[in-house]
RNA sequence: GGUCGGAUGGCCGAGAGGCGAGGCAAGGGACUGCAAAUCCCUCUACACGGGUUCAAAUCCCGUUCCGACCUCCA
């Protein structure tokens, strides 16, 4: 049995994963800033880390998975003006959109999902510690800053030098109270009309970075195993989290994992691409399980170049796997029992090498399909078990109730099945009397309704072939 | 300017010194009344130029192109 190795952005190397506490893993994932509907880049992060979580759980760890919601932020405030809604209504609206997207993709709910606005107390406490230790200062204008010059370890995650950074453009130096232009705001004084919370330094609202340090500390303690997020968070967000937390005396994250982007036309996804790559839009052309399969199929550290063609192709490949499992149930009369193959396990243990793991599924699929032709139920069963075991880890198990069709009830399905079987009996009769015109008419008629007929050794079977949900 | 990635066959996408992942598409074959599904076979690549080595897609040097971050992006 191999053991898990994971990459670490801090060391830029892959190393054996050893938890701080035997049998336990604490993960903090930077979740969404709820200021717009989720696009597939956002949920790729969710899917990638969900696979990590499932794999750790399967490996026997008790995983505490914290994924925050940033529900107060400049963009949310702007959006509130734009949409003529209170800022908290904007945050809630998009938080729900994210929750729905995660659910559609079978991303397991976090152990806890803390909101920034619910942790102002912890943030104030953290700032007090930082000020006491001399790492932060409140210049009297209501802001609180972290003094980055004092931190020798600052910028080690992104491997930059403080003096090489381009000077921040956010402040006109004249009015700034910062000791150094690169000092960053832990807390921002309230401007007229802004939401605010009372603090010892005056009313204000959280800076972007402070929340994560405060919440990670609250739920995972001074030190925890894995901190994750998108590549673009390395600097400044994660760098600043480290600065705040270490200056407060916490050891903080032992390992950093960052997922790469979904790109379109070689570029990182952005709002300029419009709404077409929102999860909500894409789910009109493929099912959630298919979108998840696509997003999870590339290695988490590799860029995934999005195209509608690639997505459609990926969905086709997935249906092929799903179709085998469906047929295995028809033949064996029972759902497969998830089993992990050695090849799959080894691949996953190698820094979650999902693409390699998928190759093992392909092999099992071929063996399983051949076994159907040969009527070898032992091999059908073992192949189906192995495939289901793999799909379960990838969060793409078609038997998972999370993917159960919400629209068609069981009664309806049974009625449809009976109806189609009547037609198929007619067709079989026609074929037996070699009236192929009549049999083809039935098949074409069903095809026009989106129902595909396949003649198998066990007789005809049908499936709904139309795209969509 | 600083930091960090990437370039693999028609397409997607792994690998990271030797035994040429896998998928999709395409062509051929088997099966079929014809299909569909399935299986078998074929096509075999690592941006460019040097170098190291018995051996380089993989290591080193250089070049080109693409991308990301550099204070509120997953």
Instruction: Tell me the pLDDT tens digit for each residue of A220-246.
Output: 999 999 999 999 899 889 999 999 999
For residue A134, what pLDDT band results from cuts at 50, 70 and 90?
very high
pLDDT at A413: 78
Q: What is the mean pLDDT of residues A268-284?
A: 76
Place of tokens 């419009």: A274
The secondary structure of A329-345 as a DSSP string is: HHHHSSPPPP---HHHH
Whether A14 sits with its Cβ under 7 A from any strand B atom: the answer reads: no
Whether A391 sits with its Cβ under 7 A from any strand B atom: the answer reads: no
State the Cα–Cα distance between residues A186 and A199, nearest whole angstrom.
12
For strand B, list residues 25-44 of chain A whose Cβ lies within 7 Å of it: 30-33, 39, 41-42, 44
Reported as a single tens digit per residue, the pLDDT across A371-383 is 999 999 999 999 9
Q: Which nucleotide is nearest to A430 (CA to C1')?
A: B33
Whether A380 sits with its Cβ under 7 A from any strand B atom: the answer reads: no
State the Cα–Cα distance between residues A200 and A221, nearest whole angstrom.
25
Q: Chain B: nucleotides under 7 Å from a protein CB?
A: 1-6, 11-15, 21-25, 32-40, 66-74
Reported as a single tens digit per residue, the pLDDT across A354-376 is 999 999 999 999 999 999 999 99
For strand B, list residues 82-141 of chain A whose Cβ lies within 7 Å of it: none
Residue A128: which region, alpha, beta or left (left: phi > 0; alpha: psi -120 to 50)? alpha
For strand B, list residues 152-211 of chain A whose Cβ lies within 7 Å of it: 158-162, 164-170, 182, 184-185, 188, 207-208
Q: Round to a whole number and report the distance in Å from the CA of A343 to the C1' of B21.
A: 12
pLDDT at A468: 38
- The CB-side HSE value for A40 (13 A sphere, CA atoms) comes to 29
pLDDT at A146: 93
Among residues A300, A258, A261, A259, the alpha carbon closest in space to that of A277 is found at A261
pLDDT at A166: 66
For residue A289, what pLDDT band results from cuts at 50, 70 and 90?
very high
Q: Round to a whole number and report the distance in Å from the CA of A220 to the C1' of B58.
A: 40
Q: What tokens does A75 get?
A: 């963009």
Q: Round to a whole number and report the distance in Å from the CA of A294 to the C1' of B10.
A: 21
pLDDT at A181: 83
Higher pLDDT pick, A65 / A307: A65
Q: Round to a whole number and report the distance in Å from the CA of A154 to the C1' of B68.
A: 21
Q: Round to a whole number and report the distance in Å from the CA of A263 to the C1' of B16.
A: 24
Q: Domains of chain A (ranges plus CATH)?
A: 5-259 (3.40.50.620), 267-403 (1.10.730.10), 410-464 (no CATH)
Whether A432 sits with its Cβ under 7 A from any strand B atom: the answer reads: no
Residue nearest to nucleotide B6 (CA to C1'): A303
Task: Please give the C-alpha separations between residue A164 and each of A178, A183, A454, in angstroms, as whole numbers.
Answer: 18, 14, 65
Q: Which nucleotide is nearest to A42 (CA to C1')?
A: B74
Q: What is the mean pLDDT of residues A335-352?
A: 95
For residue A409, what pLDDT band results from cuts at 50, 70 and 90?
low
Contact yes or no for A328/A385 (Cβ under 8 A):
no
Q: Residue A20: CB partners within 8 Å, gap ≥ 6?
A: A26, A223, A224, A225, A254
Helix (H) or strand (E) holding A313: helix A308-332
**What is the percentage of chain A residues whose pLDDT exceeds 70?**
94
Report the SS3 class of residue A21: strand
Contact yes or no for A9/A230 (Cβ under 8 A):
no
State the Cα–Cα distance between residues A267 and A269, nearest whole angstrom.
6
Q: What tokens does A285 get?
A: 């052309």
Among residues A102, A118, A104, the alpha carbon closest in space to that of A49 is found at A102
pLDDT at A469: 36
Q: What is the mean pLDDT of residues A462-469?
A: 62
State the Cα–Cα distance between residues A93 and A456, nearest whole angstrom.
49
For strand B, list residues 285-304 of chain A whose Cβ lies within 7 Å of it: 297-299, 302-304
Contact yes or no for A209/A237 (Cβ under 8 A):
yes
Q: Round to a whole number and report the distance in Å from the CA of A370 to the C1' of B28.
A: 20
Reported as a single tens digit per residue, the pLDDT across A437-464 is 999 999 999 888 888 888 887 788 888 8
Among residues A3, A2, A35, A50, the alpha carbon closest in space to that of A257 is found at A50
Neighbours of A148 (CB within 10 A): 21
User: Do strands A204-206 and A223-230 pair parallel, antiparallel, or not at all (unpaired)?
Assistant: unpaired
- Please give the backbone phi and psi of residue A21, each rounded to the nearest 5 degrees, phi first: -125, 130
Reported as a single tens digit per residue, the pLDDT across A385-396 is 999 999 999 999
* pLDDT mean across residues, chain A: 90
For residue A405, what pLDDT band results from cuts at 50, 70 and 90?
low
pLDDT at A414 over 70: yes
Reported as a single tens digit per residue, the pLDDT across A46-97 is 999 999 999 999 999 999 999 999 999 888 999 999 899 999 999 999 999 9
Q: Taken in order A277, A283, A285, A290, is the CA torsion positive or negative?
A: positive
pLDDT at A266: 72
Q: What tokens does A203 get?
A: 């009313």
pLDDT at A205 over 80: yes
């Amino acid at each position: 049995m191999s053991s898990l190795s994971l990459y670490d952005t801090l060391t830029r190397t892959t190393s054996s994963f050893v938890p701080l506490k035997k049998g336990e893993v604490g993960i903090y994932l930077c979740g969404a800033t709820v200021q717009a509907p989720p696009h597939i880049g956002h949920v790729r992060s969710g899917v990638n880390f969900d696979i990590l979580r499932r794999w750790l759980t399967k490996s026997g760890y008790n995983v505490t998975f914290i994924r925050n919601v940033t529900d107060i932020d400049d963009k949310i405030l702007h959006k509130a003006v734009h949409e003529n809604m209170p800022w908290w209504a904007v945050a809630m609206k998009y938080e729900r959109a994210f929750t729905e997207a995660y659910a559609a993709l079978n991303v397991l709910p976090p152990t806890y999902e803390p909101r920034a606005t619910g942790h102002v107390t912890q943030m104030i406490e953290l700032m007090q510690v930082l000020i006491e230790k001399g790492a932060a200062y409140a210049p009297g204008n209501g802001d609180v800053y972290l003094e980055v010059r004092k931190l020798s370890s600052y910028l080690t995650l992104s491997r930059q030098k403080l003096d090489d950074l381009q000077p921040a453009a956010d402040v006109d130096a004249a009015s700034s109270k910062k000791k150094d232009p690169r000092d960053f705001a832990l807390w921002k004084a309230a401007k007229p009309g802004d939401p605010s919370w009372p603090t010892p330094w005056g009313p204000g609202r959280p800076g972007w970075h402070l929340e994560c340090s405060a919440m990670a500390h609250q739920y995972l303690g001074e030190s925890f195993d894995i901190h994750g997020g998108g590549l673009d968070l390395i600097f400044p967000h994660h760098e600043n989290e480290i600065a705040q937390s270490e200056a407060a005396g916490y050891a903080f994250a032992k390992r950093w994992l960052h997922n790469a982007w979904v790109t379109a036309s070689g570029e990182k996804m952005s709002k300029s691409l419009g709404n077409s790559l929102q999860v909500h839009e894409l789910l009109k052309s493929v099912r959630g399980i298919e979108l998840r399969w696509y997003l999870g199929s590339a290695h988490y550290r590799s860029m995934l170049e999005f195209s509608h063609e690639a997505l459609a192709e990926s969905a086709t490949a997935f249906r092929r796997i799903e179709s085998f499992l469906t047929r295995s149930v028809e033949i064996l009369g029972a759902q497969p029992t998830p089993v992990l193959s050695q090849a799959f396990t080894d691949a996953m243990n190698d820094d979650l090498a999902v693409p390699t793991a998928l190759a093992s599924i392909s092999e099992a699929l071929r063996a399983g399909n051949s076994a159907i032709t040969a009527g070898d139920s032992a091999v059908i069963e073992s192949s189906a078990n192995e495939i289901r075991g793999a799909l379960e880890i990838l969060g793409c198990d078609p038997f998972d109730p999370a993917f159960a069709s919400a629209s068609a009830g069981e009664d309806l399905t049974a009625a449809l099945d009976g109806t189609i079987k009547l037609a198929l009996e007619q067709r079989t009769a026609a074929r037996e009397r070699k009236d192929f015109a009549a049999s083809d008419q039935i098949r074409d008629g069903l095809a026009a309704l989106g129902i595909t007929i396949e003649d198998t050794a066990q007789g005809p079977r049908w499936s709904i072939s139309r795209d969509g949900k």
